[in-house]
Structure 1
Amino acid sequence: MSSVLAALRRMLAQPGASGDGYCVAFSGGLDSMVLLHALHSLRGEPGDFALRAVYIHHGLHLEADAWSARCEAVAARLNVPYVARSVCVERDTGEGLEAAARRARYAAFAELLAADEQLLTAHHAEDQLETYLLRLLRGTGVHGLASIVERAPFADGWLLRPLLSVGRADLTAYAQAHGLDWIDDPSNIDTTLDRNYLRHKVVPVLRARWPGLAATIGRAARLSAEAAELIDGLAAGDCARSIRGGLIELGELRQLAPARQRNVIRYVLRQRGLVPPSEIQLLTGLDQLLSAGVDRQPVLSWPGGQVRRYRQRLYVLEVDPSAATEKAPSEFVWDGLAPIDLGPVRGRLQLVSAETGGFGLDPANGPLTIRFRRGGERLRAAGHLHHIRLKKLYQARGVVPWMRAHVPLLVQGDTLLAVGDLWSGASAPADGRPAVRMVWDQHALIY
């Protein structure tokens, strides 16, 4: 029996697999060509399933349009529904072109998957071998050495890699036996790329000495995945004791051994979909977060995110708020009638009727303006006789310092009417006009 068909039958025999829909990531290369053809050949067996092919056009190759047309023709011959989706690959993210293309590709797959559909990719044993070696050479930990997993949660379903135990030679034999014509991407022979260098220059030498290399590396990857699962279990227990309200309590974190402290940070970052910092960044950054004086506000910052300290708690941020708003307007003129989008971090703002409290608007006082803190602002809040500096209001409420410059200030003329949805001014409504209040969708980010 073909190892390809055997691997797919194992997948289809898993509990709950019968009746699932499968979406094949179809590039037209050897691997995905075999996967689509072999899956299609099994549809007549007991436990039928829906099947379709999706081609992602990255816009990186001149021949990509022709490749898509060839993929569409193959799908048509097999009577398999076909979808082509173009994506925009960001080239200036610092993560490298291959990683940026992968991120764009999987984001597109997540959008395209139906509720009852699983994503299938054609990763095979040599892909696992190359990934393991690349990550080993980069000094990754056990989570990275787990390399490519056979089954992982994805979107609202699962990402499955049923050919992970199948070698490239078996895929080639299947394709030749069935007369399949696949696409050869010329970039796959460019040995200036690390993966290709390993594939063409290093792995053949290793395999000549150790013929069972792919199987051995596959076993090492599975053992690494087990170790990663155990480490995550330890981190989950430590997080249960040291995290309250989504924030890491420094007092609890300090009671852990240094390795477990770092494990908690890495675990929290992974849970939030962030790539952890390098080992040296985490070592030095966490030391500063833990040891800085109580009046300090240290920050661990790297391209993938930030960890900030405020009042003996650690906050995990996806982006640097100041960098995200660096090129944003500093002022908006607003009619107050429709919601207004203020951009990243600053969020969305709208005025609604206030049944109690709120503030008044008088058209005679001029247009509404949305500004952001520059320093020295004062507000006479409802119920107060005197103006109070925003700095004192923020400190009393515990608003985190890095968000204070991004809370929208509603101004009419020279009067500060409202500070986000935190405080309203003491202005009374004009005759016959209802009081209003601000609704701001970024409120949760300020504590």
Structure 2
Amino acid sequence: MPTHRITDLLEADLATLPPGPILVAFSGGLDSAALLHALSRLDSARARGLRAVHVDHGIHDDSAQWAQRCREFADDCNVQIDVCAIEVLRTRGLGLEASARRARYGEIERLMTSGEILALAHHRDDQAETVLLKLLRGAGPEGIGAMRPLRRLGPGLAWRPLLGLPRAALREYAEQHRIRWITDPSNADPSIDRNFLRMQVMPRIMSRWPEAEASIAQSATWARAAAEFIEVEADRALARLQGLDPATLHFRDWLDMPQALRDPILRRWLRTLDLPEPTHYQAAELVRQLAEAGEDRQPCVRWPGAEVRRYRELLHALPPLQVPPFDWVSAFDGGVLALPMNLGTLRLVDAERRCAIVTDDLHVRFRRGGESLRLDAGGHTRELRDLFQEAGIPPWQRGRLPLVFERDGGLLAVADLWVSEAGFALFGARGARLEWSLGKPTAAAA
């Protein structure tokens, strides 16, 4: 490929991008060196604001030398560069390379300005390898769609303008412009899955099917289009299926969705709640339990960081619940009382939301079973169990509601949901009401 074709491609792609400066992710290797060099020759890239960033992971013995060579290369291109040294912490379930990649992107996102466009040098060979890796891991259309040419990243965008070009075209460009690039020895380590594919698998595939890389990349394009269609439809369906509480979902309607939409809806729902997503096995187990559980059952599927429970007609997604200590009890005078297990605070407030102090010997604990209270003068005593069922409070939340008792053990209030006849008399005499907050009160309110 003539070298001017790369600059022509970049020039044309720049014209279609949203406004914003360009930040090149520069490792010093062949691919990113060719990209930075080519962009530095374009007036349209410089006019936007062009700079580079190199992240030094400190993993390899020569990383400090590589960082210096990156500075020198950027200087030769007359491009400002930020060199950042980071410490890579091994993440549970990830290898060293994946942990380094996560740390690198985290640092780059921290450096990006609002609207900045991160230029990445991934090419067609990378795309083909990514598709094969995703297939081997059982990915669906979203995964097989592999890398997008343009996507959201942190405060800006990630831009991959070279996905249509083979690695050979970048090597030809680098050689013609006498670019000296860094060779990372870890790229020759066959124990890394991507390296094994590149060195052992792809050459054999290409010897039989010479157009394989282009064909695989085209399949990724089709899969990406399908994934984007599914994404739009999943968004629309989620808006219909969510309950009044965003953390709930109408489970029957969700089960009735086509299989192609059911899983994406679940994952988008959990992402909106900042909850981790399940494995494919865990998602399938949730479907199985919901389909088989009787009306009187309350199926629950858990995975690290989240659990999904069914109660009546709704699914509830929530962080893992911790049960308050059975024997926990605390004196209560109306001032701010911090509850255990991150269950918020309880206090009495007057009409201006100032704390109202009582002198009675009150105490707070959680449910132990058999509690009841009289809501109205002359009315019947009601068991909490019945009140909870009538109000539709899910069973797992009932033991997390603080209960306020008077000196002789009579139940005065259930959080700020129900207050007994005696509770109204006691609190009303001070013009106060109970307030239960799952967040910390502000200094002014306290």
TM-score (norm 1): 0.76
Specify the alignment match of 2:198 in structure 1: 199
Rg (Cα) greater in structure: 2
1:27 equivalent to 2:27? Answer yes
Give the AA of the match of 1:361.
Answer: I
Check whether the contact 1:30–1:175 (CA below 8 A) recurs between aligned residues: yes
Deviations 1:42-61 (A, max 9, x none): 1x348711122233344544
1:441 equivalent to 2:439? Answer yes
Deviations 1:251-291 (A, max 9, x none): 32344455554454345346667675444443332121233
TM-fit CA distance, 1:411:
9.9
Specify the alignment match of 1:162 in structure 2: 161
Check whether the contact 2:338–2:346 (CA below 8 A) recurs between aligned residues: yes
TM-fit CA distance, 1:16:
3.2
Specify the alignment match of 1:216 in structure 2: 215
Long gaps (5+) in structure 2: 442-446
**What CA distance in whole angstroms lies between the structure 2 residues aligned with 1:116 and 1:207?**
40
Note the 1:52-201 alignment, pairs <5 A. Answer: 52-58=51-57, 60-77=59-76, 78-84=78-84, 86=86, 88-92=88-92, 94-201=93-200
Check whether the contact 1:277–1:304 (CA below 8 A) recurs between aligned residues: no
Specify the alignment match of 2:39 in structure 1: 39
What secondary structure sits across from 2:18 in the alignment? coil
Deviations 1:126-164 (A, max 9, x none): 110110011112222111110111111222332111121
TM-fit CA distance, 1:205:
1.1
Deviations 1:162-208 (A, max 9, x none): 12112222222222333333332222211112111101111111112
Give the AA of the match of 1:82.
Answer: D
What secondary structure sits across from 2:301 in the alignment? strand
Check whether the contact 2:415–2:436 (CA below 8 A) recurs between aligned residues: yes
**What CA distance in whole angstroms lies between the structure 2 residues aligned with 1:331 and 1:109?**
48
Deviations 1:346-389 (A, max 9, x none): 376586954268874359979x99x8x47359697998999987
Check whether the contact 1:75–1:82 (CA below 8 A) recurs between aligned residues: no
Specify the alignment match of 1:316 in structure 2: 317
TM-fit CA distance, 1:438:
4.3
Check whether the contact 2:151–2:158 (CA below 8 A) recurs between aligned residues: yes
Check whether the contact 1:87–1:108 (CA below 8 A) recurs between aligned residues: no
Give the AA of the match of 1:91.
Answer: T
Note the 1:265-276 alignment, pairs <5 A. Answer: 265-269=266-270, 276=277
Check whether the contact 1:286–1:300 (CA below 8 A) recurs between aligned residues: no
Give the AA of the match of 2:14.
Answer: L
Check whether the contact 1:125–1:214 (CA below 8 A) recurs between aligned residues: yes
Please identify, of 391-400 and 76-85, the stretch whose mean Cα deviation from structure 2 is larger: 391-400
Aligned Cα root-mean-square deviation (Å): 4.4
Check whether the contact 2:251–2:313 (CA below 8 A) recurs between aligned residues: yes
Specify the alignment match of 1:5 in structure 2: 7
Distance 1:434 1:316, change over 3 A: closer
Check whether the contact 1:57–1:64 (CA below 8 A) recurs between aligned residues: yes
Distance 1:26 1:189, change over 3 A: same
**What CA distance in whole angstroms lies between the structure 1 residues aligned with 2:99 and 2:374?**
48
Distance 1:46 1:234, change over 3 A: closer
Distance 1:197 1:410, change over 3 A: farther
TM-fit CA distance, 1:440:
2.4
Out of 361, 366, 369, the position equivalent to 2:357 is 361
Check whether the contact 1:376–1:389 (CA below 8 A) recurs between aligned residues: no
**What CA distance in whole angstroms lies between the structure 1 residues aligned with 2:296 and 2:185?**
57
Specify the alignment match of 2:253 in structure 1: 252
Long gaps (5+) in structure 1: none
Distance 1:124 1:321, change over 3 A: farther
Please identify, of 128-137 and 236-245, the stretch whose mean Cα deviation from structure 2 is larger: 236-245
TM-score (norm 2): 0.76
Q: In percent, how many aligned pairs have the same letter?
A: 34
Distance 1:208 1:254, change over 3 A: closer
**What CA distance in whole angstroms lies between the structure 2 residues aligned with 1:296 and 1:267?**
26
Deviations 1:266-318 (A, max 9, x none): 4534666767544444333212123312222212333474332122211234x
